[in-house]
């Protein structure tokens, strides 16, 4: 299904949700803070401003595309902003979303657009929404704050030896999930954001050296972003991706390009399995 069809589906869902909300059919908010709709959802970019977050996913057919051109993944930590949002958040922007009622938070990457309007500010994937509130019974919406974490990064696939893509195994967002090479497929598991803070992010988490190790052969993994040196990377002119903490390079084990090849850090050698083409 193309992007227009996806947005059309969201238009119908958003119109129904909005009508139901204002008619009193959406489940009542679970806390006093959620009692009133925010005045301007487009300005909810600080801890003092609130707006509504909804969710989507189960109704979207497999193989549908987001507005950014990637394959939609209902379990990825991503979200859509409104087409009418002004100023708009660029694709790849990372936003920390916090549920006002329970304090739960999740960082999502903006990769889609929707036709919903204020007070809804974000339409989260089912996977992201479930980090903040239960999907069943469906609350319809929750009151949240949103904080922009990074808006300066570029996003897209990272390609390595023989054109294979850096991939989060199984698109699993659990801490410790292996980072590997795999055939490029356009999924969120291969969509990386190069943030201004030196981190490389996918599915709302960071490319991380296991245990903060600086030893040759230390495996890389997906992990909650924590600001440590194990999650900082610098791209060199020759294509190497260096972890400054260790002074070592991101490396495909065994100079292999086979699907499932794990990535590690290793002394920089200028070999093909240490050359990476980043999104621009």
Q: How many CB atoms within 10 Å of residue 120? A: 23
Q: Structure pTM?
A: 0.54
Spatial CA neighbour of 78 closest among 119, 10, 131: 131
Average pLDDT, integer, range 124-137: 94
Query: Is 264 within 8 Å of 218 (Cβ atoms)?
Result: yes
CATH of domain 154-271: 2.80.10.50
> Where in the sequence of the chain do the CATH 2.40.40.10 domains occur?
3-150
* pLDDT tens string 192-240: 988 867 889 998 899 999 999 999 999 999 999 888 999 989 888 789 9
% of the chain surpassing 90 pLDDT: 58
Give the chain's mean pLDDT: 82
Q: What pLDDT score does 83 carry?
A: 94
For the segment 137-141, the average pLDDT, to the nearest whole number, is 92
- For the CA atoms of 235, 240, 243, 246, the dihedral, rounded to the nearest 10 degrees, stands at -150
Place 150 in a pLDDT band, splitting at 50, 70 and 90: low
Give me the phi and psi of 23, to 5 degrees please. -90, -5
Closest CA to 152 of 107, 199, 98: 199
**C-alpha–C-alpha distance, residues 222 and 255, integer Å:** 21
Q: What is the DSSP string of 52-66?
A: EEEEE-TTSPTT-B-
CATH of 3-150, one of 2.160.20.10, 3.65.10.10, 1.10.3720.10, 2.40.40.10: 2.40.40.10
**Residue limits of CATH 2.80.10.50 in the chain:** 154-271
């Amino acid at each position: 299904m193309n992007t227009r069809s996806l947005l059309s589906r969201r238009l119908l869902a958003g119109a129904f949700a909005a009508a139901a909300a204002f008619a009193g059919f959406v489940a009542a908010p679970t806390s006093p803070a959620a009692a009133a709709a925010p005045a301007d959802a487009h300005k909810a970019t600080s801890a003092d401003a609130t707006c509504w977050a909804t969710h989507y996913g189960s109704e979207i057919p497999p193989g549908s595309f987001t507005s950014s051109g990637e394959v939609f993944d209902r379990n990825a930590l991503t979200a859509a902003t409104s087409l009418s949002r002004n100023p708009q958040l660029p694709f790849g922007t990372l936003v920390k979303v916090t549920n006002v009622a329970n304090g739960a938070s999740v960082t999502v990457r903006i990769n889609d657009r929707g036709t919903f309007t204020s007070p809804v500010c974000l339409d989260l994937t089912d996977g992201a929404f479930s980090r903040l509130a239960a999907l069943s019974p469906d609350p319809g919406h929750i009151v949240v704050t949103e904080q922009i974490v990074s808006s300066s990064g570029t996003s897209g696939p990272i390609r390595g030896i023989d054109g294979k893509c850096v991939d989060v195994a199984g698109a699993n967002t659990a801490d410790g999930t292996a980072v590997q090479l795999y055939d490029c497929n356009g999924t969120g598991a291969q969509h990386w954001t190069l943030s201004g803070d030196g981190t490389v992010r996918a599915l709302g988490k960071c490319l991380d050296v296991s245990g903060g190790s600086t030893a040759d052969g230390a495996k890389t993994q997906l992990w909650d972003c924590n600001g440590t040196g194990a999650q900082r990377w610098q791209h060199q002119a020759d294509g190497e991706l260096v972890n400054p903490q260790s002074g070592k390079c991101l490396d495909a084990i065994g100079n292999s390009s086979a699907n499932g090849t794990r990535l590690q850090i290793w002394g920089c050698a200028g070999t093909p399995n240490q050359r990476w083409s980043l999104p621009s």
